[in-house]
Amino acid sequence: MSDKLNIGIIGAGRISRVHTPLLAQRVPRARVKKLCDLDLDKAHALGDPLGLPVCQDYREIIHDPEIDAVFILSSTNTHVPMALEAAKAGKHIFCEKPIDHDADEIRRVISAVEQAGVKFQVGFNRRFDRHFAQVKKSVDEGLVGEVQIIKITSRDPQAPPMSYVETSGGIFADMSIHDFDMVQFLSGAQVVEVSVLGACLINPAFAQAGDVDTCVISLRLDSGALAVIDNSRQAVYGYDQRLEVFGSKGCVTADNQRVDNTSFLNADTSTQEKPLWFFLERYADAFLYEDISFVDACLDDRPTLIGVKGGLTPILIADAAQKSCQAGGIPVRVASE
């Protein structure tokens, strides 16, 4: 393999508009060879300003002998067939989360990737956020002692349209899945039991899609530790992203990021900037670092930070969360991998 990783990108939608410019302009060891989307106009709109060739058939990327790795940034229902074909063709794979909503489909991908011996990274970008990474470092260094409680707040600034909700897989597979991954990442333990209280407090139409827009999730880990996640689809003040790890020796927290992190206080009032508006702003650096990490893992022949099996466990937790929510909050065991 050369000193650069030749990459083909599949998908020119919202998440591709994050990754593609980074890979084309800011990841030193990456070379984007081609961008693909069924909607050629969309592909040209993204690729032309970056000087990237575009195509309509993703197989042009998967079967291009000069391409070393593929970024699967298309809709979730396309991930599995594309990943299976890419693995068979010997391509390294970066796949946005979730790999699929069906655990058995993810197991098919795991088998194909292991058989092909290619690298695979799941797009859980929050692991690459420098603030959350510092929390993880503090835990690993024993500064908080034995982890006892993890608290995560994750709230979007505005609810998605119903057209998105109806195909998203539900709040647990679409939104909470990041938090499920973070609980296990920060704790180093496995979630074994979930209980959820959910409600439609923002848009009653969510219920018609079998979903909720507000939930509180309690998790029990195999280490004995507990975790609590609260999710909302609409925090009117911005993208609310906070977490805390409490243990036998102390506590470490990561607060919201703001355009200006200073605060002002006087005799009458105190002021502070609101959180950054959405994930594109809040996790801009994390997306860059995860792309660099994947490219380096491929070129240096080392494991990715979160491999293909890392895409299965959060979906199993999401399945248990959905069952608990539908049953009014009773605890549900997480299925084994």
Name residues of the chain where pLDDT drops below 50. none
The angle that helices 16-25 and 284-300 make with each other, rounded to 10 degrees, is 60
Correct CATH for 127-277+314-333 of 3.20.20.70, 3.30.360.10, 3.20.190.10, 3.30.365.10: 3.30.360.10
Return the CATH number of the domain spanning residue range 5-118. Answer: 3.40.50.720
Question: Model's pTM, two decimal places?
Answer: 0.94
Sorted by where each begins, the domain ranges of the chain are 5-118, 127-277+314-333
* 235-259 pLDDT tens trace: 999 999 999 999 999 999 999 989 8
Contact indicator for 291, 298 with CB cutoff of 8 Å: no
Instruction: Say if 5-118 and 127-277+314-333 have the same CATH topology.
Output: no
Contact indicator for 1, 299 with CB cutoff of 8 Å: yes
φ, ψ of residue 282 to 5 degrees: the values are -65, -40
Residue 276 pLDDT: 84
Residue 1 pLDDT: 54
* 12-69 pLDDT tens trace: 999 999 999 999 999 999 999 999 999 999 999 999 999 999 999 999 999 999 999 9
- Interacting residues of 266 by C-beta distance below 8 A, sequence separation 6+: none
Q: Which of 142, 154, 176, 117 minimizes the C-alpha distance to 256?
A: 154
3-state secondary structure of 213: coil
